[in-house]
Structure 1
Amino acid sequence: MTRADDAILELLSEAGIAANPSTIAFNIDYDRRYVSKRCRVLAEHGLVDRVHEGKAMYEITELGNNYLAGEVDGDTLEE
C-alpha cells in the first residue's frame, strides 16, 4: 500500500460516490496515470470496484472501508 492508495481510498470513502482517475488525481494532487494504475491495483485486491465499463469509474468496497478503519492489515493484501 502506498500513500496514494490511502489518499484514493479516503477520497472515495468521503465522497461516497464513484469517481474516475482524473477526478481522483485532481483532488489528491497525484498524476492521473499513476492514480489510474493504483486504482487497478486496488481493484485487484478488492479495495475498490470498477463500476463503469466505458469510462473507468471506481468506488470503494466494504473491504476498502474496513482497511481505512484499521480492521484490515495492508500487508495481508500484498501479492
Structure 2
Amino acid sequence: MTQADDRILETLADSELILSPHVLSVNIDYSRHYLSTRLGKLRDAGLVERVDDGLYRITDHGRAYLNGDLEVEDLV
C-alpha cells in the first residue's frame, strides 16, 4: 500500500461517488496514469471495484481498511 492508495480510498469513501482516474488525479495531485495503475492494484486486493470501463468505487473491504479493521496482510 502506498500513500496514493490511501488518498484514493479516502477520496472515494469521502465523496461516496464513482470516480475515474482522471477525476481522482485532478483532486489528489497524482497523474492519471499512476492512479490507473494503483486502482488496478486496489481492485486486485478487493478494496475498490470497477463499476464500468474506467469508473471505480470503494468496496466494504476498502472501508474496513480505512477504519483499521483490515490489515494489509489480510488483503488478497
Question: With structure 1 as the length reference, what TM-score do the two structures score?
Answer: 0.91
1:62-77 matches, cutoff 5 A: 62-77=60-75
Cα distance between partner residues in 2 of 1:29 and 1:77: 26
Superposed, 1:40-55 pairs within 5 Å as 40-53=40-53
CA displacement at 1:74 relative to structure 2: 1.5
Compute the displacement of 1:76 (Å).
2.8
**What is the TM-score of this pair, normalised by structure 2?**
0.95
| Offset of residue 30 of structure 1 | 0.3
Gap runs ≥5 in structure 2: none
Partner of 1:3: 3
Give the unaligned 5+ runs of structure 1. Answer: none
Displacement of 1:17 in angstroms is 1.1
Superposed CA deviations along residues 33-69 of structure 1, whole A, max 9, x for unmatched, are 000000010000100000013xx00000000000000
